[in-house]
Amino acid sequence: MRMIHREEFLEKVCSRDEVRIVDVLPRDHYLNEHIKGAICLPLDELEKRASMLLGRDDTIIVYCGGFSCLASTKAAEKLTAMGFRHVFDYKGGLEDAKKGDLPLEGQLHRGKTREFPCPARA
């Protein structure tokens, strides 16, 4: 498990590799607002549902509310202990994504479809 910041988060999301973005906040938070493409896997459901939703060799980026939230770090540690090999903790989470104007989804963002600001590929 490794902590990453917005720049590295974007690098991974914009790469040609498939990345699983995992929101570990409670389901109601996810329904209101989450990073585009994220799946909902609340911390308290992680051990029960992770193996159904994620592959052991997937690149997994977990996030929570922001720098002061510890849920993503706990989730990353649990996933690593469960045998998931490529787990990253996006420490800034939703708070940092908003500051960076990253695309968000959910009830608060209906009709505001945007893409990640990835550099053009040749």
Residue 115 located in a structural domain: no
**Measured distance CA(31)–CA(82) in Å, rounded:** 27
**Residue for token digits 């720049």?**
7
Please write the tens of the pLDDT for every residue from 79-109: 999 999 999 999 999 999 999 999 999 999 9
Record the pTM: 0.94
Cα 99 off chain centre by: 16
Residue 113 located in a structural domain: no
Residue 110 located in a structural domain: no
pLDDT for res 122: 44
**Measured distance CA(112)–CA(37) in Å, rounded:** 14
Tally of domains within the chain: 1
Q: How far does the chain reach from its first CA to its final CA, in angstroms?
A: 31
Residue 112 located in a structural domain: no
pLDDT band at 121 (very low <50, low <70, confident <90, very high): low
Residue 108 located in a structural domain: no
Q: What are phi and psi of 88, to 5 degrees?
A: -125, 140
Residue 13 located in a structural domain: yes
Name beta bridge partners: 22: 39, 62
Residue 88 located in a structural domain: yes
Residue 45 located in a structural domain: yes
CATH number of the domain bearing residue 33: 3.40.250.10
User: What range defines the domain where residue 86 resides?
Assistant: 2-103
**Measured distance CA(46)–CA(18) in Å, rounded:** 20
pLDDT for res 17: 85
Dihedral of the alpha carbons of 116, 117, 118, 121, in degrees to the nearest 10: 120
Please write the tens of the pLDDT for every residue from 19-61: 999 999 999 999 999 999 999 999 999 999 999 999 999 999 9
**Measured distance CA(13)–CA(97) in Å, rounded:** 13
Please write the tens of the pLDDT for every residue from 3-27: 999 999 999 999 988 899 999 999 9
Range in 54-68, 76-90, 108-122 the model is least confident about: 108-122
**Measured distance CA(94)–CA(68) in Å, rounded:** 11
